[in-house]
Chain A
């Protein structure tokens, strides 16, 4: 089932990418191949490969269903997907929050939320570790290495 899904998604990507190649403007500096030459080739190549993955996936799924009807429903992977999306959402949350509250608090919040999301009970210990992490990262990256980090209300 995974191959069928992957083949389908890749076909969609190839179609969207090809659609975008049609919108590439021409330039007087263009050569024979042009800026759309390689992208067009890539879109066709991906469509062919995706099609083959899809066909192979369907054939394998049909074969499997005949022999083991309950096998490879893809349930495990579908079940793990929301967890991964949740983790990504924490990162998106940092993107939105850190420029407002600043690096130290943003970093501390990120460590605390990830730790709780990964199964640690939300206690004062988590808050202390997170606060320590925020200060440590700020000291290393902003003060010691001199790199730029989001500045908000605080640091």
Chain B
């Protein structure tokens, strides 16, 4: 009851509603632009949250995430090009419906299923996050060190790509985190006499560089021959009979999205494809899948919108971001000095309640905003790619400059973007590197604090049962990663023409 009254107070006394709507609009637009994923949409707006009140900043980011997951389905349905990775499954039946002259219906199903998925995910977020965070109350420095290691090892084992490349990316991320003053003695490291480096490289620079700038570099020179939409489209929401038909795939999508969101490394794309396949399996009309089935849109859209909320559960409880977008959100929390875990719920309850309330506002507003800004999205989707590239590049640079008002930061982001481009062409994943930058200080400072407490004895880690449990789990995840790597390389060898 108390939380409800605080939520209402926040709604009345703060600009929570306009901020949610702004985030939602930006998210839908960003998600609708092909090549701009949800994480890039978040990374682009992240610098502008620097000067904002923490609650408003987090609400803006969460609403953006929710909007981007729906926005991704617009070009997926209209021009067969998913705006975000997690909208790839929506292309299958969405575009088929478009070809049958039912683009408006397909967009309506996507929007309605997104709302259902978001509401389900939000409910899970509210119910599960705080109890899980209570566990973290028992944590000591040794446990926090082990949490950092677990976060890195989970991603190492679940992230796509070769384990060696995942490890290399994580180590490079940790190396970047060591730039600046060390967390215990304050000694300057790797600053090369550059004053701007003394305070370290902010994770936001690495995120924007890796996600946004590297994408621009990757797309540079791409003629971008996207199919143009000729006809006008009017969004048609499902009627009651259709809503009943969509309910089962939406629930399948929401359930899959909950599990995938809770698992670090899962993410919206896996949830979308998994729920698509499960919906077809449980459907009364499986033969319609792939030929313009409304259920084939409902399941993946409910799933990826659920993940937008449930991926915040491990993030808020333990500080472990499960996806690229959650990593950017973690960056948003850290910018404002907010550490995920139980203390966040005690010391910054307004931020948490604001996050829940703002997400609810964004979710409920999705239908109205979705209908209103669809023409704008269609207009943007049809813009020539060279101009879009220029606008996005200017947005990145302008946003980064606002943080410290120095061109040095812009240079760092360009450098990170070029490194990200090289990582893309060499098949190195970004998430481990981002996690290395974010979790590096947590791992190092708690490791050293633990040893200071024990007088340099490593036995202290064995005396903490939580740390032991988490470190064993980390080892198991790494063993799983090694096994998966070995299995994949054997499969690749078996599939090669010579074998």
Contact surface of A with B, Cβ cutoff 8 Å: 2-3, 5-6, 10, 13, 17, 20, 24-27, 29-39, 42, 45-46, 49-50, 52-53, 56, 67, 77, 80, 83-88, 90-92, 94-95, 98-99, 103, 107, 110-120, 129-130, 133, 137, 141, 145, 147-150
For residue A56, which residues in chain B have a CB less than 8 angstroms away from its CB? 164
Q: Which residue of B lies closest to A25 (CB)?
A: B187
Q: Which residue of A lies closest to B184 (CB)?
A: A31
Bound complex: CA A109 to CA B31 (Å)? 27
For residue B337, which residues in chain A have a CB less than 8 angstroms away from its CB? none
B15 within 8 A of A: no
Q: Which residue of B lies closest to A99 (CB)?
A: B407
Contacts A91-B410, A95-B407, A150-B401 known; A110 to B175 CB distance under 8 Å?
no
- Please pick, from A31, A111, A120, the residue contacting B394 in the complex, using a CB distance under 8 A: A111
Bound complex: CA A26 to CA B452 (Å)? 16
Q: What's the minimum C-beta distance from A72 to chain B, rounded to whole angstroms?
A: 12
Q: What's the minimum C-beta distance from B283 to chain A, rounded to whole angstroms?
A: 41
For residue B475, which residues in chain A have a CB less than 8 angstroms away from its CB? none
Are A67 and B498 in contact, with the CB atoms below 8 A?
yes
Bound complex: CA A129 to CA B182 (Å)? 47
Are A87 and B217 in contact, with the CB atoms below 8 A?
yes
Interface SS, A side: helix
For residue B217, which residues in chain A have a CB less than 8 angstroms away from its CB? 83-84, 87-88
Are A35 and B216 in contact, with the CB atoms below 8 A?
no
Are A91 and B397 in contact, with the CB atoms below 8 A?
yes
Are B452 and A31 in contact, with the CB atoms below 8 A?
yes
User: Which of B6-14, B260-268, B419-427 lies on the face that meets chain A?
Assistant: B419-427
Give residues of chain B (202-224) contacting chain A, Cβ–Cβ below 8 Å: 213, 216-218, 220-221, 223
A-B complex: 5 closest residue pairs judged by Cβ atoms: A118-B386, A114-B390, A111-B390, A35-B182, A32-B456
Are B171 and A111 in contact, with the CB atoms below 8 A?
no
Are A24 and B426 in contact, with the CB atoms below 8 A?
no
Bound complex: CA A46 to CA B165 (Å)? 10
For residue B486, which residues in chain A have a CB less than 8 angstroms away from its CB? none
Q: Which residue of A lies closest to B456 (CB)?
A: A32
Are A33 and B411 in contact, with the CB atoms below 8 A?
no
- Please pick, from A24, A32, A77, the residue contacting B451 in the complex, using a CB distance under 8 A: A32
Are B447 and A149 in contact, with the CB atoms below 8 A?
no
B497 within 8 A of A: yes
Q: Which residue of A lies closest to B498 (CB)?
A: A67
Bound complex: CA A13 to CA B423 (Å)? 14
B250 within 8 A of A: no
Q: Which residue of B lies closest to A34 (CB)?
A: B185
Bound complex: CA A118 to CA B427 (Å)? 25
Q: Which of B390, B443, B452 has the most CB of A within 10 A?
A: B390
For residue B389, which residues in chain A have a CB less than 8 angstroms away from its CB? 114-115, 118
For residue B422, which residues in chain A have a CB less than 8 angstroms away from its CB? 6
Give residues of chain B (421-456) contacting chain A, Cβ–Cβ below 8 Å: 421-422, 425-428, 443-444, 447-448, 451-452, 455-456
Q: What's the minimum C-beta distance from B494 to chain A, rounded to whole angstroms?
A: 14
For residue A107, which residues in chain B have a CB less than 8 angstroms away from its CB? 394, 398
For residue A49, which residues in chain B have a CB less than 8 angstroms away from its CB? 164, 167-168, 171
Are B390 and A112 in contact, with the CB atoms below 8 A?
yes
- Please pick, from A25, A46, A84, the residue contacting B172 in the complex, using a CB distance under 8 A: A46
Bound complex: CA A146 to CA B164 (Å)? 45
Q: Which residue of B lies closest to A79 (CB)?
A: B221
Contacts A110-B390, A141-B398, A148-B402 known; A87 to B220 CB distance under 8 Å?
yes
Q: Which residue of B lies closest to A3 (CB)?
A: B426
Q: What's the minimum C-beta distance from A66 to chain B, rounded to whole angstroms?
A: 8
For residue A10, which residues in chain B have a CB less than 8 angstroms away from its CB? 168, 172
B414 within 8 A of A: yes
For residue B411, which residues in chain A have a CB less than 8 angstroms away from its CB? 92, 95
Contacts A3-B426, A118-B220, A147-B48 known; A53 to B164 CB distance under 8 Å?
yes
Q: What's the minimum C-beta distance from A100 to chain B, rounded to whole angstroms?
A: 11
Q: Which residue of B lies closest to A30 (CB)?
A: B185
For residue B395, which residues in chain A have a CB less than 8 angstroms away from its CB? 137
B112 within 8 A of A: no
B359 within 8 A of A: no
For residue B375, which residues in chain A have a CB less than 8 angstroms away from its CB? none
